[in-house]
């Protein structure tokens, strides 16, 4: 399988997944059609599916134009987003299998950013939409902290070498926040230096790197807890409470 990240709009990422054997392809989260059409033509592949991680407009804005050009394309989303992605044609739930050419993927339901947020997992490749970012995670628009915490726990249980393809380029700002809440984590500092030096595309990341540098996957860190308690949050008991506070702090950062 070949994966082409396609930067769209201001800071969005759409992705083109290609099954080399069959020449079939899928698009994940089409922000806008034009840059994706260009990649589809350049790669000379047949678009068979559009995979939607959630219903936000900056992830589905290109669907109508793509369907006009490729009328047979299947538009896939979680069952609970049916009424909000009206052009969707096929609905999935947690654990469902999907097929792109000869490549099989699995749906992981990860509510939190929206109720129907899903991630798509193909071999070592995981498409997470706005659930997880480089050194960060999505805002809790429709879910609560416990839901998102549990969703991130599902992703963290995948193999460390999993490549993670996220929906927005927020990595630098996320690392600036990460260093604020875990200043002694040298991995965070090194990662921020690297991002500042290249100032480029940071997708994909790996689960191993996120576990080392993403505070939202490090809610059991005593160092983070100590910093938060020093800032006046005396009654932090559980990792979920640490997560909820980190998310609120990041909203205002």
Which residue numbers are catalytic?
54, 56, 58-59, 113, 130, 168
**What kind and span of H or E run contains 161?**
none
Tell me whether residue 42 or residue 82 sits nearer to Zn ion (CB atom).
82
Does an H or E element contain 39, and which? helix 33-43
Is the Cβ–Cβ distance between 173 and 195 less than 8 Å? no
Closest CA to 32 of 61, 12, 55: 61
Q: How far is the CB of 31 from Zn ion (least distance, A)?
A: 11
Closest CB to Zn ion among residues 48, 114: 114
Nearest approach in angstroms of CB 237 to Zn ion is 30
Name which of 20 and 139 has its Cβ closer to Zn ion.
139
Contact 77, 85 (CB under 8 A): yes
Interface residue list for Zn ion (CB under 5 A):
56, 130
User: Which residue's CB is nearer to Zn ion, number 11 or number 104?
Assistant: 11
Kind plus residue range of the DSSP H or E element containing 181: helix 171-181
Query: Tokens 């800032």 correspond to what residue?
Result: 231
Residue 114 CB, nearest distance to Zn ion (Å)?
7
CA atoms within 13 A on the CB side of 106: 10
Q: How far is the CB of 117 from Zn ion (least distance, A)?
A: 8
């Amino acid at each position: 399988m070949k994966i082409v990240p396609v930067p769209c709009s201001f800071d969005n990422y759409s992705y083109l997944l290609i099954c080399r054997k069959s020449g079939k392809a899928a698009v994940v989260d089409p922000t806008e059609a034009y840059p994706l059409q260009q990649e589809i033509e350049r790669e000379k592949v047949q678009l068979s599916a559009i995979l939607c991680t959630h219903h936000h407009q900056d992830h589905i804005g290109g669907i109508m134009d793509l369907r006009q050009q490729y009328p047979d394309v299947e538009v896939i989303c979680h069952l609970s987003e049916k009424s909000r992605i009206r052009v969707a044609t096929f609905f999935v739930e947690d654990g469902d299998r999907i097929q792109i050419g000869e490549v099989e993927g699995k749906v992981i339901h990860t509510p939190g950013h929206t109720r129907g947020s899903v991630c798509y997992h193909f071999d070592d490749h995981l498409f997470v939409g706005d659930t997880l970012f480089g050194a960060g995670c999505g805002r809790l628009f429709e879910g609560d902290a416990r839901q998102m915490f549990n969703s991130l726990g599902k992703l963290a249980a995948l193999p460390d070498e999993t490549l993670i393809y996220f929906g927005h380029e927020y990595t630098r700002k996320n690392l600036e926040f990460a260093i604020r809440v875990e200043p002694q984590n040298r991995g965070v500092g090194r990662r921020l230096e690297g991002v500042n030096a290249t100032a480029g595309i940071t997708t994909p990341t790996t689960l191993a790197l996120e576990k080392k540098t993403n505070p939202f996957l490090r809610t059991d860190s005593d160092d983070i807890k100590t910093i938060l308690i020093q800032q006046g949050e005396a009654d932090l008991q559980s990792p979920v409470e640490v997560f909820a506070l980190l998310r609120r702090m990041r909203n205002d950062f």
